[in-house]
Chain A
């Protein structure tokens, strides 16, 4: 029996009821997909089965006559046609209860003071099995805990030894510094000694751990129970991948970020920048009130501020500068306010060019850009000039799965096991990886997966890429100046890509070299000519770089030009720190020529210092908006809570109000979020359909809005009782179908507006099971988000012929190339104490030859000059770096140099 998708189906009988289910999946997953409750610990949908905890025991029966049955672990048992099983069988239920009884022999009675309490899978499973009284009356074993860095607490006494943490950390995410130690009932999960967990994905342990061993340390700083937070579905601001997150607030501060499952995007996980980079929202540097320069001492107030800006705009020659970290709606509102001809994209020129090119390739090429989950299905990977763990960390997890694809398939064939038999598959595949080639300026942490890793200048990476495309049959001129080793590499890569079924090519902003993107495109087009279904990932630098590019606008250097030559003197800057987009000396010059600088932003930064008017903007947590990720997927984030002061509001709302006071025709009749989206979809064709990303503000289920707060939300009559014993009216949300209260529709909301995952009996993150079509699949009614870019729309793109010049070191000069850091390169997350702690100090990275030539060593200071402006850095030496190049940490506070690549004089 087959379904449409050619999946073999089976009939099984569970407790006397008959179901049609997929054959070969494990019974536990199958039961959960059917919506049945069955407790488990060691199994995880992304990690598969190992059969360690014995919690998911059920009875299976040979046939109708068999009444005795056999106890089996459902996670280890494949679905076969006509299988008979019982979940409710007394012996099975008694065994499951006793498993909890065993776990409780050592688990402490500390739920009341445990951070996991109220969102604890162990609590839920304990209740589910009915284990209520302890028969064990002996002492418990105790452990010492470890310091694991700024992100995670460690409380080993709570451990129930499900082994999920090591399986995620080591096996799935490739971590090296965590393991299981000792044996019998002393097994210990942690590091070999106290220290910071090195993995970029360590924070997932807080969600993977079924109880309170690993908990979110930043949450602990301002702890709140899960049921006491106000939530909204949101989208990570940390990079261009747009992972889905749930943000939780209480008492006006953001408390926690957790994964919002999206079957197409980030699945069950987040990177640590995404999870922990949120605390800028609570920063002391927040702009909380409107301010106008030379109007000191008075609280300006919203109306006065608007009036002041109106006057300034009336007398000035105005331009607007948008932002790749602001929503489409805010950028659109600014574009409408200042007019298309005066709207500049607030990206550095390099990033602008790279994103323009990426958009062109994705729109005009023949090759589809995959979601992260699709990328994970690749069977060969080529990474050009990208240090994924630092530029698009979650994509690195997809690469990890992709390189396992080929050996895992072989293992499944030879050992005759299913993919969910995690230990058996890993045993049979050992440390084999599928083909993976990484070309970068310096080593990356993913190189351990690489069939071959090669380090050279970005231009050379591009040239090797062109040569590879040519090798694959692209009609391109021969590439000169490649070494013998590089020629061999090209041949090896070509053979690997051609023998793969679904090769994945990754390039992006990390190399800061458009030639690398062109090369990546050529390779994909060449594979396309061979009818090879390849996939192309192009990373983008910021959370809405792609959206801003699709909206369109002028370059940042043209903004500098019009101000420098006097054509403009008044700038409205939207959520942007131009000191991160222009070299310091250029930005200084620019601002010295501006008469008025109106900044709408949320953090006090270098640009704010130059502003003549500051308008306090809401962060992502206080705003609604839409962003487009590197895949061209438009995604909606919704406001979590009403800001602390009434003056803080969404940037687009400030701009609508400015439109109103200045009688801007283009912004007429716009008041609410839906109005802006409507105008945007009307005016910019490529955004058609984004009005359907979430239901409109007037959407109701059974006449009710969807509450942001769990029904157990406590203390709301007391929160402000010290000010007024009468409970104030909750803020009204006129922009979304969500309410800022605990009242409303309690059933399952549409997938795009699920504020938090909770289900009766399932208080932990594992409740996501109940929201999925099938375990590990899409959310009910589809994964949120809409792809706006599909390939072959016009099929204009063929091959780029413009090959970057051969990189030649230039005497007395260094070519500066950006080095990205997961902790430090992103603007907002560095205002989180934990992220700041993990940030490196600014440095300049030299090759040993250059260090020798300029007579410097590690830790020495080296001064370089750009256009005569001096910059001094501490030297780091990296033997993999090409001579004549120097790496500078991109975006790191205190670096000052933004425009890379460029030549610097030593």
Chain B
């Protein structure tokens, strides 16, 4: 039996209320953390668990927390990044709608660890149902004494607010999220200073992904070793994986970290639909490099996927089949990224629309060899460090890998002066 701490209690169509959550052992982790552990002990425990951020970058959560200065005056903030806007990704929604108290408990413990007194859930605007559930859960937690003054009689105090965004992909970037939360334009900030030092309103702040925070109560309850044991690989825990595309059973599943792509597609997603063949997949959302049939047995964890030339990202896979034009597929993505560029730095603001226009031209049969060179150039020049934040480098990942693995498709568009699939996207 596979252990599924995050989703085991979630039933389709039902959102656990506080009673059901408590009945399933909820808020025990909070009791333990607040009553038996010091804040640094919580941080150390999380560090030992080797929990890596589930938002996409995979940075060690405990490490992140440890950068928060503990002996400073003034407020500190804990923020849950629930602005799930990565194309193809729907894992956080499952957790938010199905078990909001699990997130709240994780947030309260995390806030305790960094001694934050105010916390926010920054939620994607389109998640109406989740917004409703979170609001209800916050009210219930308040009433039960898990939020507000003197939580569980320990003197710890935490307020929690729900903030719904307005639908910008950029807000998933933690510093742009902070600006947005402050009422400013959602443009990223330069690092350093990191949010742990100067975050929301210039105060020490931790921003963690929903899935990351949901693990915290379980780690506190069951320990670092247990968390490690859930995984098949060095990266601890379970992971919510998702598959979308022309598979028989698209969906999301909580599985041990390190299942292979083959298991995901063939066992959990039920294999490709009849008449469609697998050509490749973006393993962790739109901003990750394609993996192909050659990578079917790569364990889906941060380290192994990186070694295969891509990123685990959000762990939610988008599958490309042999009836879908890879150029059109990438064009659709670049259209999204160009539109979601915040417009702050030149390469992203001007470079992404250029790639989008070239891909569109290719689809219409108007592309040239020189255009392909431009695409190659952009994949290099919009790399990490050249742009202000990771949006454009992320946008280049599917493009550069498509150019690598599906080069013949691009060339066919140029030479035949049309889309051989006849299904361009606009």
Contacts and interface: CB of A to CB of B under 8 A. Distances in A.
A51 B187 CA distance: 12
A99 B193 contact: no
A17 B352 CA distance: 37
Contacts of A414: 72, 197-198, 202
Interface in A744-787: none
A105 B342 CA distance: 17
A167 to B, nearest CB: 12
A423 interface: yes
Contacts of B198: 411, 414-415, 424, 427-428
B192 to A, nearest CB: 7
Interface in A175-193: 180, 182-187
A424 B193 contact: yes
Nearest to A135: B374
B354 A136 contact: yes
Interface string A383-415: 000000000000000000000000000010011
A70 interface: yes
Interface residues of B, number: 38
Interface stretch (A53-61, A197-205, A842-850): A53-61
Interface string A424-451: 1001111000000000000000000000
Given A57-B386, A415-B197, A428-B193, A99 B354 contact: no
B347 A102 contact: yes
B386 A71 contact: yes
B213 to A, nearest CB: 24
B357 A138 contact: yes
Contacts of A183: 168, 170, 340-343
Interface string B208-243: 000000000000000000000000000000000000
15 contacts: A54-B388, A55-B346, A135-B370, A138-B354, A138-B357, A184-B343, A185-B338, A186-B343, A415-B192, A415-B202, A416-B192, A421-B190, A423-B189, A424-B189, A428-B202
Contacts of B354: 102, 105, 136, 138
B385 A71 contact: yes
Contacts, number: 113
Interface in A140-190: 160-161, 163, 180, 182-187
Contacts of A424: 189-190, 192-193, 198
Interface in B338-388: 338-347, 349-354, 357, 361, 370, 374, 377, 381, 385-388
Contact of A185 (B192, B353, B388): B353
Contacts of B344: 52, 163
B421 to A, nearest CB: 23
Contact of B343 (A55, A76, A135, A187): A187
Interface residues of A, number: 43
A562 interface: no
Given A180-B185, A415-B193, A417-B193, A52 B385 contact: no
Given A103-B350, A163-B344, A429-B202, 20 more contacts: A53-B345, A54-B387, A71-B386, A98-B381, A102-B351, A105-B354, A135-B370, A161-B343, A183-B170, A183-B340, A183-B341, A184-B341, A184-B353, A185-B350, A411-B202, A423-B189, A424-B192, A424-B193, A427-B202, A430-B202
A184 B385 contact: no
* The 6 A-B residue pairs with the shortest CB-CB distance in the complex, in nearest-first order: A102-B350, A187-B343, A428-B202, A415-B198, A415-B193, A184-B341
A95 interface: yes
Contacts of B192: 415-417, 424
Contact of B381 (A95, A180, A182, A186): A95
A50 interface: yes
Nearest to A55: B346
A137 to B, nearest CB: 9
Interface string A40-73: 0000000000111111010000000000001110
B201 interface: yes
Contacts of B386: 54, 57, 71, 95
Contacts of B353: 105, 184-185
A187 B349 CA distance: 9
Contacts of B341: 183-185
Nearest to B370: A135
Most buried by A among B345, B385, B388: B345
Interface in B37-70: none
B66 to A, nearest CB: 17
B228 to A, nearest CB: 34
